[in-house]
Amino acid sequence: MALVNYGTKEITFKLVYYGTGLGGKTTNLKVIYSQLSPQTRGELVSLATETERTLFFDFMPLDLGLINGFKARISMYTVPGQEEYNKSRKLILRDVDGIVFVADSSVVRSEENQASLKNMMDNLKEYNLTLQDIPWVLQYNKRDISNMMTVERMESELNKMGVPAFEAVALEGKGVFATLKAITKMMLNRAKGED
């Protein structure tokens, strides 16, 4: 559940972007960072390798303004997609309030998407959580590539629970804010008890 500080009247939600390596998680945060005013967002902290792959995580705070007299924020994280960083991915999921699962639309990434989703569910189990316990959405990224899967196939492979899913081309900013708006609304409704 969101971190509530009654003394300072602040509420902070933790949002995690999860998915395969090079699927577009960091790109989502970079687009959000580049299009919001400095008054709304904090600094984007990225711990990447020389090849631009996320090593541990990316982090960016986002100010939502006042909600019911509380200053509301979202702490946004991405996880490293590479399997060798599973301990980091598991740690970043601790106390999560919402998840955006970023799936790569490339046909050749189908099995990786499914394995990453299973890995996310396994890591949530470490905290006695399931996907029924947490607001989450799917983002089908890279909808501009020539060898992309159909949305129907991606829905069949990844969206057994029928959660909201968004098509995106994160590099161009398409679908990034629609995804963020949907998951933010879901987290806020859950905090208000309006599941």
Express each pLDDT in 154-183 by its tens digit. 999 999 999 999 999 999 999 999 999 999
The span from the CA of 71 to the CA of 51, in Å, is: 37
> Residues 6 or more apart from 132 whose CB is under 8 A from it?
161
Show the beta-strand stretches assigned E in 35-172: 45-48, 54-67, 70-78, 98-104, 136-141, 165-167
Handedness of CA 62, 65, 66, 71 (dihedral sign): positive
Which CATH number applies to 3-191: 3.40.630.10, 3.40.980.10, 2.40.40.20, 3.40.50.300?
3.40.50.300
Backbone angles phi, psi at 81, to 5 degrees: -80, -25
Q: Where are the domains of the chain?
A: 3-191
Cβ atoms 103, 179 nearer than 8 A: no
Residue 9, φ and ψ in degrees, nearest 5: 55, 50
Is the pLDDT reported for residue 36 higher than 90? no
pTM score of the predicted model? 0.91
Query: What is the C-alpha to C-alpha distance for residues 187 and 195, in angstroms, rounded to an integer?
Result: 9
Confidence of residue 69 (pLDDT cuts 50, 70, 90): confident
